[in-house]
Structure 1
Amino acid sequence: MKKLSARRRHPLAAIVVLLFALAATGGLYAAFAPAGEAKAEASAAAQSLAIEEGKKLYAVGCSSCHGTGGQGSSDGPSLVGVGAAAVDFQVGTGRMPMQAPGVQAPAKPKVYSQEETDQLAAYIASLGPGPTVPTKEQYSPEGLSGEEIAEGGNLFRQNCAQCHNFTGEGGALTDGKYAPGLKDVDPKHIYEAMETGPQNMPAFPDSVLPEKEKRQIIAYLDKVNTSETPTPGGWGLGGFGPVSEGLFAWTIALAILVGVTVWVAARNAKARKS
């Protein structure tokens, strides 16, 4: 008893007891703490890190046009509130950063990796609320019925064909601008374009075009742009059908034939006079 009492009076006894209590508390917390709470903390830490890395990338590659805080400048619009989806589309398709000022940013090989694009998107999203990057379930055309795909065609013709053509082959706009072709475009990027309205394109948020209808449009484009889709009658000519092919024959081919006929007749007449 005397030895035990002496140990209790040892100067390090309180520190040992404190360390033991902290270890026990930490172990019990790790064992019984809710798994969701731990995951949430890890996710928040990862998001914070992504924002910091994205801020560094932004300062080097974007701030010269869009301002040091994304507020915009004479060379680029404000990015406050555009959301992560706009960044994923613009950077993921290589449109940003632009190589040189122009009326429109063309698609080109992307500069940033997907990880870097995600970091840039996280930073821009932190500046203000906006459309988020869609999940695969939102944009994947898989699993839709033929009736739903046909409805997607109707929606595309009503909302998109005026600029992108009936089968998404693209077309010219005013002042040197153009609606790009949609063949071989990632379904995610098509969804993001509808959600954010890049450049000359109007935005189609869920209040205008619900998520299901966006997915149906993507399924329609996937269907008409596959190599399995037949083009009966000859050239596709923008998907307008046999009417456009007949019009081409009458206006172009027939004009050529008339021109050749006139040329031959003129040569014969000249030969007879000589």
Structure 2
Amino acid sequence: MRLLNRSAGQISKHRRGPLAGLVVLLLGLLLTGGLYAAFAPAQADETISSDEQIAQGRELFLVSCSFCHGQNGEGVRTENGNQLGPSLVGVGAAAVDFQVGTGRMPMAQPGAQAPQKTPTFTDEEIAALGAYVASLGPGPAIPDESDYSLEGMSDEERQAAITRGGQIFLTNCTACHNFEGSGGAMPRGGYAPKIRGVEPKYIYEALLTGPQNMPSFGNGDLSPEEKRDVIAYLGSLEDSPNYGGFALGGLGPVPEGLAAWVLGIGGLVGAAVWIAAHTTRTNKKKVDA
């Protein structure tokens, strides 16, 4: 019994020694590191793939974008001081996804407006370019589908979102994009493109980043929910019947007024001339008889 007590006392004495705490700390670190390596290998692989994606994006950028935007995305000015390509530092991956995903970039030649066309790059290449530009400085990220989707909403919630989005759109967007989102001309060779039928993700990114002549609506100006409501309103226009008849593309009162004068009043004038000429011929025959 005395031997057991003596052994227990020696073990307790060693536990209180200066090296005991260090040994326990090392064992804890080894255990934590082992558990992390066993249960979180995907996170480590994700970090490596992100670095590789940025490197791939830089290679694509140097070949296709650096002539206008500079080798480090700093922007390029011509000899007379005009901006050939703006700086991309801080524009974020969302701007790249919009511009390259809609085919607006790379531009065939500099101009006041970048027209939409077939994309030059694949989805993987666009993601790589976005990752590289995002590494140049903090900026808006590519939105998730949950940011602009109406999935999971009831009919009442969906209708309320459409109503709110219509009010926001009529207040902030109709001056350029027309009340139906059909677009319109702007000064100095620019134009507001048609936004009906555009993918919701690109509408959200356009609101977030403000491409070309469009102002940007950050989350401080329009919340993510308000951006989603605008997208809901634009989507509802596709299903809304046109109660006014032939809408002439929904371009507004100018073409509608022109059509009323040329087709409507012009047709009435033509009918009046025909009736008058026909009446004259009939009266002449009666006189001759």
User: Pairwise mapping of residues 79-158 of structure 1 onto structure 2 (< 5 A)?
Assistant: 79-142=88-151, 143=153, 144-158=157-171
Q: Kindly report the root-mean-square deviation, in angstroms, between the aligned alpha carbons of the 2 structures.
A: 3.1
Which has the higher Rg, Structure 1 or Structure 2?
A: 2
- 1:213 is paired with a residue whose SS is helix
2:38 and 2:228 map into 1 onto residues whose CA distance is: 34
1:186 and 1:107 map into 2 onto residues whose CA distance is: 13
2:255 and 2:74 map into 1 onto residues whose CA distance is: 50
Tell me if 1:251 matches 2:261.
Answer: yes
Decide which of 194, 200, 210 is 1:181's aligned counterpart.
194
Q: In structure 2, do the counterparts of structure 1 residues 79 and 36 end up closer, same or farther at CA, with 3 Å as the change threshold? A: farther
Q: Which moved more, 1:257-266 or 1:71-80?
A: 257-266
Q: Which moved more, 1:254-263 or 1:93-102?
A: 254-263
Partner residue in 2 for 1:260: 270
Q: In structure 2, do the counterparts of structure 1 residues 35 and 152 end up closer, same or farther at CA, with 3 Å as the change threshold? A: farther
Shift of 1:166: 1.1
* 1:181-240 Cα distance to aligned partner (Å, 9 max, x none): 112211100000000000010000000000000001001111112xx3211231134558
Counterpart of 1:253, as a letter, is: L
8 Å CA contact 1:141–1:222 kept in 2: the answer is no
Q: In structure 2, do the counterparts of structure 1 residues 247 and 61 end up closer, same or farther at CA, with 3 Å as the change threshold? A: closer
Shift of 1:34: 6.5
1:119 and 1:246 map into 2 onto residues whose CA distance is: 46
Counterpart of 1:63, as a letter, is: S
Structure 1 residue ranges without an equivalent (≥5)? 1-26
How many residues align? The count is: 245
8 Å CA contact 2:112–2:189 kept in 1: the answer is yes
1:246 and 1:130 map into 2 onto residues whose CA distance is: 42
Counterpart of 2:261, as a letter, is: T
Decide which of 220, 223, 229 is 2:233's aligned counterpart.
220
Partner residue in 1 for 2:85: 76
Provide the TM-score with structure 1 as the length reference: 0.79
8 Å CA contact 1:82–1:131 kept in 2: the answer is yes
Partner residue in 2 for 1:231: 242
- Aligned-pair identity in percent equals 44
Q: Which moved more, 1:57-66 or 1:176-185?
A: 176-185
2:217 and 2:115 map into 1 onto residues whose CA distance is: 21
Counterpart of 1:33, as a letter, is: Y
Tell me if 1:63 matches 2:66.
Answer: yes
8 Å CA contact 1:141–1:218 kept in 2: the answer is no
Q: Which moved more, 1:258-267 or 1:191-200?
A: 258-267
1:58 and 1:172 map into 2 onto residues whose CA distance is: 32
* 1:86-130 Cα distance to aligned partner (Å, 9 max, x none): 000000000000112221100000000010000000000000110
Partner residue in 2 for 1:46: 49
Shift of 1:269: 11
Provide the TM-score with structure 2 as the length reference: 0.75
2:74 and 2:203 map into 1 onto residues whose CA distance is: 26
Counterpart of 2:241, as a letter, is: P
1:254 and 1:169 map into 2 onto residues whose CA distance is: 24
- 1:87 is paired with a residue whose SS is helix
Shift of 1:78: 0.6
1:161 and 1:36 map into 2 onto residues whose CA distance is: 52
Tell me if 1:193 matches 2:206.
Answer: yes
* 1:9-68 Cα distance to aligned partner (Å, 9 max, x none): xxxxxxxxxxxxxxxxxx977852267754432222111111000000001000011111
- 2:59 is paired with a residue whose SS is helix
Structure 2 residue ranges without an equivalent (≥5)? 1-29, 78-83, 285-289
Tell me if 1:162 matches 2:175.
Answer: yes
Q: In structure 2, do the counterparts of structure 1 residues 250 and 110 end up closer, same or farther at CA, with 3 Å as the change threshold? A: closer
2:117 and 2:257 map into 1 onto residues whose CA distance is: 35
Counterpart of 2:68, as a letter, is: C
8 Å CA contact 2:248–2:256 kept in 1: the answer is no
Q: Which moved more, 1:248-257 or 1:211-220?
A: 248-257
Counterpart of 1:102, as a letter, is: G
Counterpart of 2:262, as a letter, is: I
